Amino acid sequence: MTIRLNQKSITIDGNEAAASVAFRTSELAAIYPITPSSNMGELADDWATRHRTNIWGGIPTVVEMQSEGGAIGAVHGGLSAGAICTTFTASQGLLLMIPNMYKIAGELTSFVMHVAARSLATHGLSIFGDHSDIMACRQTGFAILGGTSVQEAHDLAAISTACTLRSRIPFVHFFDGFRTSHELNRVQMLADEDLRGIVRQEWVDAHRNRALTPDKPVLRGTAQNPDTFFQAREACNTFYNQLSAIIPEEMKRFAELTGRSYQAYEYAGDPRADRVVVAMGSGAQTAAETVRYLAERGAKVGCVLVRLYRPFVVDQFVAALPASTKRIAVLDRTKEPGAVGEPLNQDVVAALHEAAQSFDLPMGNMPEVIGGRYGLSSKEFTPAMVKAVLDELAKEHPLRRFTVGINDDVTHLSLAVDNDFDIESPKVVKAMFFGLGADGTVGANKNSIKIIGDETTLHAQGYFVYDSKKSGAMTISHLRFGPEPIKAPYLIRRANFIACHQFEFLEKMDILEAAENGGVFLINAPLAPEDVWGALPVEIQRTIIERHLKLYAIDAGKVARQAGMGGRINTVMQTCFFAISGVLERPEAIAAIKHSIEKTYAKRGEEVVKRNFQAVDKSLENLHAIRVPQTATSQLHQTGFADERMDDFTRRVQSVMMAGKGDLLPVSAFPVDGTWPTGTTRWEKRNIAAEIPVWEPEVCIQCNKCAFVCPHAAIRAKVYEAAQASNAPESFLGVPYKAPDMRGLTYTLQVAPEDCTGCGLCVQVCPAKDRTNPKHKAINLMPQRERRDQERLNYDFFLNIPEVDRSRITRLDAKSSQFLLPLFEYSGACAGCGETPYIKLLSQLFGDRLIIANATGCSSIYGGNLPTTPYTKNRDGRGPAWSNSLFEDNAEFGLGIRLGVLEHMNHARRLLTELGGLLGSQLVDQLLDSPQSTEQQIAEQRQRVKALRQALATIPGNPSVVLAQLADYLVHKSIWIVGGDGWAYDIDYGGLDHVLSLPFDINVLVLDTEVYSNTGGQSSKSTPLAAAAKYASAGKGTAKKDLGLMAMSYRHAYVASVAFGANDNQTVKAFSEAASFHGPSLIIAYSHCIAHGYDLRMGADQQKRAVESGVWPLYRYDPRLVDQGKAPLQLDATVLRGSALDYMQNETRFAMVEKMDSDRFHLLADQAVRNTLQRVALYRELARIVLPQDTAPSPDAAASLDASSASPAIKTGFDGRTNNDGAVKA
Amino acid sequence: MTDMSTTYMGFILNSPIIPGASPLVNNLDVVRRLEDAGAPMLIMHSIFEEQLIKEQVSLNWAMEHADYSNFEASTFLPRPEEFRLGPEEYLRHIWKVKSAVSVPVIASLNGYSAGGWVSYARMIQEAGADGLELNIYDMPIDGQRTAARLEEDSLDIIRAVRNAVTIPLAVKLSPFYTSPVNFARRVAQCDVNAVVLFNRFYQADIDIEELAPMPSLQLSTSDDLLLRIRWTAAMYGHIKSDIAITGGVHTAADAIKGIMAGAGALQMVSALLKQGPRHLTMVHKKMTEWMEQHEYQSLSELQGVMSLARMPRPELHERTNYIHILQNWSRD
């Protein structure tokens, strides 16, 4: 045996482990982002940009496509041309590839795709890991091979590559999303030389020789007929038969080369086991470790790790089972409702039956097989759960179908678990860190793992858990360090070291739940050391005393500021961890941190290194051991999330989820279909802002700009009768309203102190300055803590003052729009988010009649990520109804909603006509014909509907009942399709284009951040020239697609380009016009984003720069103007100030390209400046064009044309349009 | 034939009019056109240590401030292996400019920290610059800092840089010293090859409607020359370094005045920004014509003729000039 002993060992995550092999053994990677696999594509793009080579000396071509469907199409083409190709995907992305997977397999094409296995969206979306995606393509003809660990993600990627090239059968190589893809662990890396040994050149040559080429012309993709298709389909059988032998042979050869041995079906445990668990993925590692632990203690238990799922090789699987096997529990990490059993279970049963028919089973009798589900959507799967399964197998009558890891109190399938059961070695140091998203905690912990894993003999493992928010999320880092390899793909349950990096967490969270007796507890406390103990809630004090914890504290924020690190506490807290955890000796640890700082930051400049060094030194000076008294005396108590004002469901279910205890909720707690109540973010009160805006009424000019830009609806304006504030709290402020339209009312600007994120956008846009001290504005940021109680009272009082009657707002503009109740509030969006002000405005303008179809992405995550929902209701119980279908179908989904609503409306109108005699012609005529253009008219229509319902109550018969059910549809509904640029420009552009081509009254809002923000800033076709983005890390070399211009080319669609920071009134105008336009409308909204790389406090200023430089034109294209003899395109920003370069130099996404490659940047930037000027010139010309009135068919005319041609799409009997007053045309 | 050559910073130049530190040298095409127009030397724009540090800190902040904020996006911007965040870009540009022209290329440095002055100066020398102009841009707005302290701090920097590099060194001064001639003498004693008079501080305007400072960049006019002439005339003959004037040199007459006051070289920026490189040729030509008309054979003949030591009625450059003008000034 030739074992290479010089293999390099580094600490990386599963994505990098797989991508490293994929990149080096490919010539072409076609990629598309999807969580949790996006990082593999990012790495491939990054490595290609850095000119890293594959094992044949070439730099692989990495190309981002418009969807996963596009990626696999490009791969299929590349393979047909004889290139060695790869791609990376997960979940719904894998499903989009399925059609082409049949083709690739059918053509016997060598290819490996790497999948970070993830749940499929069903009753809800989940980004987390299970096997439902890979199971959904088990029928495609691909081999499916998956590992149990980070090391296996690396090794099986290589083995898959060898096998596919040798066998010609394409492979899905998978590993568990997040649990493996994002776990950091030490990996023995395969060198290029190893890979060249594993992947034989003759196979590569053979693959190339099968290329389509005119030099040896052949034809593929024929259409075959009943006479031949069947036989031809069977012709591939021998290749699959051979594969079952090839895989073990290549695994053996791999072992000879590397010393790491794998089997397609590998047994662990007692060789005489009678109870055996079968599992695949990371859960199999947990099962294997557990059975080893139990077997060492005398239990007759075992585990078969299934690595090869397709083809399922019967004899090899059966051979892996001990002859003593009597009972088997098959664990599936997927759910197949209605099936006899889950897929792996079915395969095991079928395999045993098949074996029994073919040869004598080693165990004599057919073992009894039961099957269970575990770990859906990364639900924890622990040794205790494995033991529960083994215990179930030991019962006389085990459940034939079960679940483990949840409490199923409805169908009673779940197994009881003894959570005290633990198999972890006492030699392992287990540390948990509670941090705030983006405070640097996770980054520092990753760094610590690398320091220990790469530079000491210790093994290290890290896994990171976040809550559902984008801003102010709580992060929990789980770190293990030990002398042996760490095989524990589950969270820490007992920790020797706990650090709380945010003092506020102690108020609500059970931070010390996992603290082990005698452990260390480190707190970042903004207090003097002598004040720390007294500031702890009594519950925390008690736990510290009872568990004999050693308590340390540091004011990390202060130390970080002193070191010139702003408020970033990562280096400070990392130093403290090393200083007191005892994982390494202190001097050795500090030297290692400094070495690591140099390694990480040297490329970002000496100054950055210097400041980090200062932070290390000052941390040690400011870290204090806190004396723990013998009794807990604090008067402070932890406050939970439950509130007596909550409704039953919110209190019983959502407050538990808010407290991070959702795992404890039983099945019965949940809606059966994923339907969820709205309006629950208001219960969270996250208190994440260190500073909040404080209003100075004397300085304020009551412009409401602050409220307009607030991404979280946390600063609000209201006008009301003075008497309504007669019992206001003493500190509640109100002043006479200054504008003439509602003279006599009182005006209040109020902050929601516990919901504000402290982004500072409001203060930045405030135009009112104190004339004697211009530093002071009408709102100023002040510390939150000391104002929290007072402002909480004020805000509660403010909320109870009724909003001004909407019909009193006669002139709708940016200012007046802020007197309308926001029905989108306190979302989990990033602090300073540039998208949410648009959604909030949408909810203010049309919220009580709004339906949103939301594409997957940031807006669906902050819009609908549990535990709470930001869309809410008004006092009448009305508010936005919202749904997310998929990423790739949102335009079509929204159109379907439009058509469904239209059908209900037409149905109601027909019934109204039918029942007209009984209802009275005046009411019926008014209901049918009254305009609904203004708030007043809508209010009147609602009154008429109310009267209709009263009248219907007295009319017997089915039509009356049905009309009562549909009556609300007589009030116009505003249907909006919302999504980001990745959705609109790329993955669903075809759908969007089609929807815009139709005449239906539908509105589209594109929140354009110019990247795939949600998955981490990958380039889209909206990404501007010269901007660095993931998948375009050298700076995008092509210009942004002009979506608006493309939509205008239909000429019957309303199109607007808006940027609230530059012109908020134009934004409001565009929203109103789009809503009133009775055809398709498209609004493209500039949305600043953290992926642009600057302080989002300046977001509105930067929007202004974008507009003034011509980079982002403001316009409205209104087809209605054609009939008025006017140019349909109106430019709303006509004067250029500054150049595109001025705008670009303020954002890191551009600036970093200059810092990477100045020549390239200037080339691209010059082109960007030229493009901008050319586009401005083009739009100026277009804005001068007055179209002849008969050349641009109105939506009405367009629909008539469609109707007359009886297009199948709209042949269903309704005409699909409303007239200018909102009523349906007869 | 009039001899227009001069000696400046140890270089013999065939013209005294040098394009001063400005963004003109950013563009290699312009650099070549400047040489073609007769530039005898090129002075690069300043490398600002403070700005480099700010860039490093800002870029690092922008790169990592949103890291690991949620499950789906661990980072939001690509992580290139290499950034040119130090002075590398500047140093590379020195090399590019040097490769593009045959005249001496002087780099310019505006330091911020004690270490920065020396380390950047060394790097500039290693990058191949023919000389270095130190831009002492120290705004004395700290009320605790005495004039003496401020001068000593500047001299410490100059000495440190002088010890660190061997290439010719010029020091660009501010006009705001209590005793400019004395200070210039002390600067010159630090083995400095030239002093450059004077830095023009950017002065923000005030927006009276918005109650905000308003960044403004005012190009110089010939009026700015008078201050330089006065102090050049005062220093000439009293300091051992060359003197260059920067600020207000727009026309041939301006240049002649500068030389007469005692400058060995004249740096021109605003006029070139406004008129382009060919302006250099024109000024040189007109200057030569004037000298021919006035029978000056060489620049050295002209240099210093109107210095305080040699000019008739030097008191007009002293306090009496002020008194005289005030006495003769009236609203009519």
Which residues in chain B are closer than 8 Å to A609, comparing Cβ atoms?
Answer: none
Q: Does A769 touch chain B (CB under 8 A)?
A: yes
The Cα A253–Cα A259 span in angstroms is 10
The alpha carbon of residue A358 is apart from the nearest alpha carbon of chain B, in Å, by 48
Residues constituting chain A = 1226
Give the pLDDT score at B89: 84
Indicate whether B312 pLDDT > 90: no
> 3-class DSSP state for residue B35?
helix
The alpha carbon of residue A767 is apart from the nearest alpha carbon of chain B, in Å, by 8
Indicate whether A1203 pLDDT > 60: no
Which residues in chain A are closer than 8 Å to B211, comparing Cβ atoms?
Answer: 769, 771, 774
- In percent, how much of chain B has pLDDT > 90? 64
Residue B239: how many CA atoms within 13 Å on its side-chain side? 31
pLDDT band for position B324 (50/70/90)? low
Tokens matching residue A722: 């003075």
Residues constituting chain B = 332
pLDDT digits (tens, 9 = 90+) for A920-965: 999 999 999 999 999 999 999 999 999 999 999 999 999 999 999 9
Q: Per-residue pLDDT averaged across A1158-1168, rounded?
A: 94
Give the pLDDT score at B323: 53
Contact between B71 and A1158 using a beta-carbon 8 Å cutoff: no
- In percent, how much of chain A has pLDDT > 90? 89
pLDDT band for position B328 (50/70/90)? low
Q: Per-residue pLDDT averaged across A562-588, rounded?
A: 91
pLDDT band for position B321 (50/70/90)? low
Contact between B58 and A1148 using a beta-carbon 8 Å cutoff: yes
Contact between A1093 and B60 using a beta-carbon 8 Å cutoff: no
The Cα B53–Cα A567 span in angstroms is 18
Which residues in chain A are closer than 8 Å to B86, comparing Cβ atoms?
Answer: 605-606
- Which tops the pLDDT comparison, A548 or A471? A548
Q: Supply the mean pLDDT for chain A.
A: 94
Contact between A1033 and B80 using a beta-carbon 8 Å cutoff: yes
> 3-class DSSP state for residue B172?
strand
- In percent, how much of chain A has pLDDT > 70? 96
Which residues in chain A are closer than 8 Å to B79, comparing Cβ atoms?
Answer: 46, 1033
Contact between B84 and A35 using a beta-carbon 8 Å cutoff: no
Closest listed residue to residue A18, CA positions, set A105, A71, A86: A86
pLDDT band for position A110 (50/70/90)? very high
Give the pLDDT score at A693: 98
Indicate whether A1216 pLDDT > 70: no
Give the pLDDT score at A7: 56
Give the pLDDT score at A1211: 35
- Which tops the pLDDT comparison, A769 or B53? A769
Indicate whether B248 pLDDT > 90: yes
- Which tops the pLDDT comparison, B215 or A1085? A1085
Contact between B69 and A438 using a beta-carbon 8 Å cutoff: yes
In DSSP terms, which residues pair with A478 in a beta bridge? A432, A463
Which residues in chain B are closer than 8 Å to A1149, comparing Cβ atoms?
Answer: 77
Beta strand pairing status for A974-980 and A850-854?
parallel
Query: What positions of A carry a catalytic annotation?
Result: 35, 68, 118, 1014
Contact between B69 and A471 using a beta-carbon 8 Å cutoff: yes
- Which of B59, B74, B89 faces A604 most closely, judged by CB atoms? B59
Least confident interval from A92-106, A256-270, A1177-1191: A1177-1191
Q: Per-residue pLDDT averaged across A592-596, rounded?
A: 92
Interface test with A, best of B58, B69, B90, B92 (most A CBs within 10 A): B69
Q: Per-residue pLDDT averaged across A890-906, rounded?
A: 98
Smallest CA–CA distance from B212 into chain A, residue: A774
pLDDT band for position A128 (50/70/90)? very high
Interface test with B, best of A1152, A1160, A1166 (most B CBs within 10 A): A1152
The DSSP letter of residue B298 is B
In DSSP terms, which residues pair with A751 in a beta bridge? A715
Query: H-helix or E-strand containing B323?
Result: helix B319-328
Give the pLDDT score at A5: 39
pLDDT digits (tens, 9 = 90+) for A490-541: 999 999 999 999 998 998 889 999 999 999 999 999 999 999 999 999 999 9
pLDDT digits (tens, 9 = 90+) for A654-706: 999 998 899 999 999 999 999 999 999 999 998 989 999 999 999 999 999 99
Which residues in chain B are closer than 8 Å to A1151, comparing Cβ atoms?
Answer: 59
Which residues in chain A are closer than 8 Å to B69, comparing Cβ atoms?
Answer: 437-438, 466, 470-471, 473, 830, 1090
- Which tops the pLDDT comparison, A401 or A604? A401
Q: Does A605 touch chain B (CB under 8 A)?
A: yes
Which residues in chain A are closer than 8 Å to B70, comparing Cβ atoms?
Answer: 437, 466, 468-470, 473, 861
Indicate whether A392 pLDDT > 50: yes
- Which of A178, A607, A830 faces B53 most closely, judged by CB atoms? A607
Give the pLDDT score at B139: 75
In DSSP terms, which residues pair with A188 in a beta bridge? A9
> 3-class DSSP state for residue A60?
coil
Burial of A773 (0-12, 13-18, 19+ CB in 10 A): exposed
pLDDT digits (tens, 9 = 90+) for A965-1024: 999 999 999 999 999 999 999 999 999 999 999 999 999 999 999 999 999 999 999 999
Indicate whether B112 pLDDT > 80: no
Q: Per-residue pLDDT averaged across A271-286, rounded?
A: 98
- Which of A49, A437, A568 faces B69 most closely, judged by CB atoms? A437
Cis peptide before B198 (omega within 30 of 0): yes
Smallest CA–CA distance from B207 into chain A, residue: A774
Give the pLDDT score at A6: 44
pLDDT digits (tens, 9 = 90+) for A597-615: 998 888 888 889 999 999 9
Contact between B73 and A1017 using a beta-carbon 8 Å cutoff: yes
pLDDT band for position A18 (50/70/90)? very high
Q: What share of chain B is helix, strand, coil (3-state, %, to 5)?
A: 45, 15, 40
Which residues in chain B are closer than 8 Å to A443, comparing Cβ atoms?
Answer: 64, 67-68
Give the pLDDT score at A791: 98
Least confident interval from A63-67, B126-130, B308-312: B308-312
Enumerate residues 147 to 186 of chain A having a beta carbon within 8 A of any beta carbon in chain B.
178
Give the pLDDT score at B331: 45
The alpha carbon of residue B211 is apart from the nearest alpha carbon of chain A, in Å, by 6
Give the pLDDT score at A1218: 41
Q: Per-residue pLDDT averaged across B67-95, rounded?
A: 86
Backbone angles phi, psi at B125, to 5 degrees: -65, -45
Smallest CA–CA distance from B72 into chain A, residue: A1015
Least confident interval from A388-392, A1151-1155, B12-16: A1151-1155
The Cα A1035–Cα A1152 span in angstroms is 9
Interface test with A, best of B65, B84, B90, B209 (most A CBs within 10 A): B65
> 3-class DSSP state for residue A515?
strand
Q: Does A259 touch chain B (CB under 8 A)?
A: no
Which residues in chain A are closer than 8 Å to B67, comparing Cβ atoms?
Answer: 438, 440, 442-443
Indicate whether B220 pLDDT > 50: yes
Q: Per-residue pLDDT averaged across A1044-1071, rounded?
A: 98
Q: Does A471 touch chain B (CB under 8 A)?
A: yes
Q: Does A1093 touch chain B (CB under 8 A)?
A: yes
Contact between B83 and A1014 using a beta-carbon 8 Å cutoff: no
Give the DSSP letter string of A795-842: HHHHHHSPPPPGGG--S-SHHHHTTSPPSB-S-SPPTT-SSHHHHHHH
pLDDT band for position B317 (50/70/90)? low
Starting from the edge strand earliest in sequence, which strands make up the sheet with A301-306, in order?
Answer: A265-269, A301-306, A275-279, A327-332, A368-374, A401-404
The Cα B52–Cα B116 span in angstroms is 10
The Cα A207–Cα A163 span in angstroms is 12
Indicate whether A278 pLDDT > 80: yes
Give the pLDDT score at B257: 97
The alpha carbon of residue A470 is apart from the nearest alpha carbon of chain B, in Å, by 6
Indicate whether A1200 pLDDT > 50: no
Enumerate residues 39 to 68 of chain A having a beta carbon within 8 A of any beta carbon in chain B.
39, 42, 45-46, 49-50
The alpha carbon of residue B189 is apart from the nearest alpha carbon of chain A, in Å, by 33
Q: Per-residue pLDDT averaged across A787-792, rounded?
A: 96
Which residues in chain A are closer than 8 Å to B74, comparing Cβ atoms?
Answer: 39, 442, 1016
Its pTM surpasses 0.95: no
Smallest CA–CA distance from B63 into chain A, residue: A1093
Give the pLDDT score at A1198: 44
The Cα B265–Cα B256 span in angstroms is 10
The alpha carbon of residue B50 is apart from the nearest alpha carbon of chain A, in Å, by 10
Q: Per-residue pLDDT averaged across A129-137, rounded?
A: 98
Smallest CA–CA distance from A48 into chain B, residue: B80
